[in-house]
């Protein structure tokens, strides 16, 4: 019987085009369990789960004019953890761009961003954890929140390319604008992570007292930290733009497990460093709100989708497409922002699972042309902020955490 494959979504094509031998855009979610991990039971759980996520636990086949998503034919093996965010090879991405590792009390999932964004990643990972706990501890865990029912076949809405469904209106192309790029020696391929855990309520309460969202508060503080670093290195200041991914599901009502994100780019201009921090954060809140207008987002999707659907683009060989996209991204992509700050949000586990999963962390691969990335994720009342960097010497995280601590103390 012919194997079912799927067209790649609009975001996936860019991630595939940007693959390099020693750099792939992957993320890692790590949970710490209450007991040492049993790899045999974890493998049994994977045997039960992998068929439920055919577009996530999958590889990517390169054809002459396109890529296709190819579900795996057997469960991937769970492996001892070799280290943090080792780049995926082209062979891995072609066969199975989904890794599960174990070490002591930790279970880690590494995935290639072409397969899923944070929502799909969390859904597949928490479903695997739930099945592991069912098999290991005999727990009865209800299907709720991000968990998926293993008795169901993959659902049509989970496999949907929501970019195609929700793009409409006059296509809008966003102009590029050069942003300050953080200094740091690229020490590929090793990733140096640095995390700090806060009480979620403490950070939420501070943002509410300031009258802004948590994401606006954290991205504004990030911009202020980067501007401080810039002033130490140069007198000719450039804008600091924070790339903030936005989950489009809550805006457009999608339930897909595939990529469905766009970005806002709140900006701190030279001179804004003189603003009181409260005013800066309100400015970021206003910019993010304006950029989340549904009609605007649908128009951006229309530009992206229709560009890839154009007859000329479709009939260019894949190798040439990838080379053009890499060149464009080099000059107009990463230089358009200073850093990415991804807020995954609060991972809600069923009450039956929560006592067995102590902490969660998300680590992003630093961007190819920039030494840093940052992620935020919450679970069980703990908010974990993680910086990942290629450069050996920490600088940004020290300045950021000092500024965040000051805000938490004074508001």
pLDDT by 10s per residue, the chain, length 411: 457 999 999 899 989 988 887 778 999 999 999 999 999 999 999 999 999 999 999 999 999 999 999 999 999 999 999 988 888 999 999 999 999 999 999 999 999 999 999 999 999 999 999 999 999 999 999 998 899 999 999 999 999 999 999 999 999 988 888 999 988 766 656 788 999 999 999 999 999 999 999 999 999 999 999 999 999 988 899 999 999 999 999 999 999 999 999 999 999 999 999 999 999 999 999 999 999 999 999 999 999 999 888 888 888 998 998 888 887 777 667 789 999 999 999 999 999 999 999 999 999 998 776 789 999 999 999 999 999 998 877 889 999 999 999 999 998
* CB contact at 8 A, 45 and 135: yes
pLDDT (0 to 100) of residue 239: 97
pLDDT (0 to 100) of residue 1: 46
**Exposed/middle/buried for 234, CB within 10 Å: 0-12, 13-18, 19+?**
exposed
The Cα 78–Cα 52 span in angstroms is 17
- The strand ranges marked E within 152-306 are 192-199, 240-247, 261-264, 267-268
Provide long-range contacts, Cβ within 8 A and 24+ apart, for 225-229: 225/396, 225/399, 225/400, 225/403, 226/180, 226/182, 226/268, 226/338, 226/339, 226/396, 227/180, 227/268, 227/272, 227/273, 228/273, 228/399, 228/403, 229/182, 229/183, 229/395, 229/396, 229/399
| Host H or E run for residue 354 | none
pLDDT (0 to 100) of residue 189: 65
pLDDT (0 to 100) of residue 241: 96
The Cα 120–Cα 255 span in angstroms is 10
pLDDT (0 to 100) of residue 140: 93
* CB contact at 8 A, 277 and 257: no
pLDDT (0 to 100) of residue 11: 92
Q: pTM of the predicted model, to two decimals?
A: 0.95
């Amino acid at each position: 019987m012919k194997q079912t494959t799927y067209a790649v979504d609009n975001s996936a094509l860019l991630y595939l085009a940007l693959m390099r031998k020693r750099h792939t855009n992957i993320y890692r979610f790590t949970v710490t369990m209450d007991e040492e991990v049993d790899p045999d039971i974890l493998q049994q759980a994977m045997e039960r789960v992998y068929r439920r996520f055919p577009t996530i636990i999958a590889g990517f086949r390169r054809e002459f004019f396109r890529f296709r998503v190819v579900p795996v034919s057997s469960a991937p093996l769970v492996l001892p953890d070799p280290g943090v965010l080792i780049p995926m090879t082209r062979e891995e991405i072609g066969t199975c761009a989904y890794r599960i590792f174990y070490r002591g009390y930790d279970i880690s999932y590494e995935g290639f961003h072409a397969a899923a964004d944070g929502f799909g990643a969390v859904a597949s990972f928490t479903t695997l954890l739930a099945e592991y706990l069912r098999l290991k501890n005999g727990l009865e865990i209800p299907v709720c929140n991000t968990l998926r029912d293993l008795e169901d076949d993959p659902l049509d809405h989970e496999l949907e390319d929501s970019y195609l469904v929700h793009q409409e209106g006059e296509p809008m192309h966003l102009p590029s604008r050069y942003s300050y790029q953080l200094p740091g020696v690229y020490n590929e391929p090793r990733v140096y992570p640095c995390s700090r855990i806060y009480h979620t309520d403490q950070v939420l309460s501070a943002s509410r007292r300031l009258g802004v969202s948590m994401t606006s508060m954290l991205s504004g503080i990030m911009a202020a930290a980067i501007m401080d670093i810039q002033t130490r290195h140069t007198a000719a200041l450039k804008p600091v733009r924070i790339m903030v991914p936005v989950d489009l599901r809550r805006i457009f009502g999608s339930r897909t497990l595939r990529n469905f994100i766009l970005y806002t780019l709140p900006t701190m201009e030279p001179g804004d460093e003189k603003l009181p921090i409260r005013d800066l954060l309100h400015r970021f809140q206003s910019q993010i709100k304006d950029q989340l207008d549904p009609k605007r987002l649908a128009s951006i999707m229309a530009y992206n989708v229709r560009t890839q659907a154009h007859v000329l683009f479709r009939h260019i060989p894949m190798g040439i497409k990838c080379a053009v996209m890499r060149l464009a991204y080099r000059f107009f992509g990463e230089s358009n922002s200073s850093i990415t700050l991804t807020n995954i949000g609060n991972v809600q586990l069923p009450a039956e699972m929560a006592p067995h999963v102590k902490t969660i962390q998300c680590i992003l691969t630093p961007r190819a042309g920039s030494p840093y990335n940052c992620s935020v994720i919450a679970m069980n009342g703990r908010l974990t902020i993680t910086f990942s960097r290629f450069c050996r010497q920490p600088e940004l995280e020290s300045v950021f955490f000092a500024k965040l601590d000051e805000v938490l103390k004074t508001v």
